[in-house]
Each structure stands twice: as structure tokens, then as C-alpha cells.
Amino acid sequence: MTHIAEIAKTRAAIRHHATPIRPEQDAARHSWTVAEILALYELPFMDLLWRAQSIHRQHFDANAIQRSTLLSVKTGGCSEDCGYCSQSARYATDVTRERLMPLAEVVAAAKAAKDKGASRFCMGAAWRGPKEADMEKILDMVREVKALGMQTCVTLGMLKEGQAEKLKAAGLDYYNHNLDTDREFYGQVIRSHSHDDRLDTIAQVRDAGIRVCSGGIIGMGESRKNRAAMLAQLANLEEPPESVPINNLVPMPGTPLGELPPLDPFEFVRTIAAARIAMPKSYVRLSAGRENMSDELQALCFLAGANSMFYGEHLLTADNIDAERDDALFIRLGLSAC
């Protein structure tokens, strides 16, 4: 059987077994099946993009992109074994362990990001979860960045009881905690904590009244079914994440996933489109991996429903597209920052 015939057979099988999806079903709901999202992936590419763009325009300005800047406020030395991460102390990478950044340096970085057009400032720390002594310093960072008039976001790993409430009281707007991948594939990437541990932290954040930022990483060797299952898990949360970062794996030398081949770019765009359809009211963010994307590929992602991006030269330990190139792309496409 030829490769094209195999694809046709797979599409026919999925369409036969999946419940048909009507346009009116594209409204926000919490009952997506993996088969339904797989059926989205298997649509002809142009049909999928048309559908995603149509839904996107029902809820957002199609020409406005939200810009976030991400700063690593504590780099390296993490005890966890996330197979994609160069900050894990378990792997031999070129990332050195650093202490928590001084407050003044964080505030200066936030001011610079705001001056360049970022509306949200996210602070990330490499550890399993914050200790109480570090927590007080993080709370000061949240307060000071909030005072600049920016939206605040942190990604601090797993939270202990009561920590989410402290973050809320300090003025935190968003907490980032990615599912990374679906439950079935999770153990092949991370073993030092479980998929349920991630869901527990997300629940704590929700209970504290903080908005959730949660998505995943694709290109880690997972199957399309794993990707569809991850999107279904996010969409079927009691309240879907307000922001959904979709990361394209950046293979980091020295990590277990450091030599994986790149993902098919069209598969990445299909994931963006499926996320937009399954979570119509969420911001879908282009995250890690953008530095390897052409302007044309990014434009396809925006057409597929991505309406948020990380803006700035660095994402934790990975490079990102420089601001000047992003500004030029916005002008070429007639986009505005929001």
C-alpha cells in the first residue's frame, strides 16, 4: 500500500468511527473526544484552516496578537527529570545553576519588555516547586511588575497548599503549568512527577481565582493521537485554560530528547488549528520553537487561530526571534499588538 493510500485509509477510518462534528458544535464545550479531535487533524488542510479561522473571528480580532515576555528568574539546577529540559540537574547540558534574580533586575527587565510592546510579563523558576523563603521574593516580583501596569504570570512548578492564595493576594493574573503531553505518553518524557500532579496544581490555581495558562510541547516523539488527547484533556477541564501555549520542541543538547528530528511544520499548524477549534475562547500562543519558523509558517499559525506569542530574544534557556523581526512581520501582515 502506498503512503497516500495509507493516509486515505486512516482518514476514512477516523471519519467512520468519530461522531460527526457540526459547525454549531464548535461553541465552547467540555465533552471533546480524542476521536473528534483526531478527525479535525485529518481534515484537508485548507478546510481545517477555514474552520479554525471562522471560529477565531467569532471570539477575537483576527488581526490582533497578544505579546508576552518570559524571563527566567531562577535558572538551572532543577531536581526534575523532564526529558526536554536543559535546566534539569540530571543532564549534562551547558546551563549553569544560578540563584534567584534580584528584584531590581526583574523589574528592569519588565520595564524594558513593556517599552517594547509586551502586555504580559511571565517569570519562570527552575525547581520542583517554590520553597517558602523563595516564595516571599517571588511575591515581591509579582507586586512590582503588577505596579508597572502589566499582566503578571509565573511558572514555578508544583505548588503547596496555600501558595496559590498568596500569589493571588499579591496580584498574580496567570499561572503557567503545562500538561506537556497527554496522560498516556507522559511517563516517556517525565518520571519524577505524574500527570496528576500537574492537574492538582492547575486545580489549586483555579480554586485561588487565578487564570490558567496551560498547553503542551509537540515533537517529542508522541503520536498524533497523543496530541489530540492532550488537547481533549485541556478542553475538557471544568474551565479550559485562558491561555494555551503550543510549544514546538527545541531539542536541547545533553537532554534525552536532544537529537529528535524536527516535526512536520504542517502538523504544528494543524495542532494550532485543532486547539483553536476545541478551545474557541482561549488565547492560543506560539511559544518555544518560533526561532526556527519562517515568517510564512508563522503567518499560517496566525491564520489557524494563534493570537498570542512570546516576544523577546530569550525563552528561559532557548532563543527566540528578535523583536525587530517580529515588528517587521507585524507590519507586513497588518497585525497589531494587544
What are the structural domains, with CATH classification, of the chain?
A: 33-337 (3.20.20.70)
What percent of the chain clears pLDDT 90, i.e. is strictly above it? 74
Looking at residue 314, its pLDDT comes to 54
Count other Cβ atoms within 10 Å, centred on residue 84.
23
Q: Categorise residue 149: left if φ over 0, alpha if ψ from -120 to 50, beta otherwise.
A: left
Detail the DSSP E strand segments found in 249-301. Answer: 283-286
Per-residue pLDDT tens digits for 48-71:
999 999 999 999 999 999 998 999
Looking at residue 184, its pLDDT comes to 96
Looking at residue 6, its pLDDT comes to 46
Looking at residue 28, its pLDDT comes to 62
**Cα dist from 293 to 180, 247, 301, 317, 326, whole Å:** 20, 12, 10, 18, 12
Please tell me the pTM assigned to this model: 0.87
Looking at residue 26, its pLDDT comes to 53
Q: For residue 55, give the 3-state DSSP assignment.
A: helix
- In the predicted model, residues of the chain with pLDDT beneath 70 are 1-28, 312-321
Q: How far apart are CA 210 and CA 167, in angstroms?
A: 8
Beta-bridge partner residues of 124: 72, 155
Quick one: which of 136, 147, 203 has its CA closest to 175?
A: 203
Q: How far apart are CA 177 and CA 163, in angstroms?
A: 14
Catalytic site positions: 78, 82, 85, 122, 153, 213, 285
Quick one: which of 218, 132, 125 has its CA closest to 179?
A: 218
Count other Cβ atoms within 10 Å, centred on residue 56.
22
Looking at residue 204, its pLDDT comes to 95
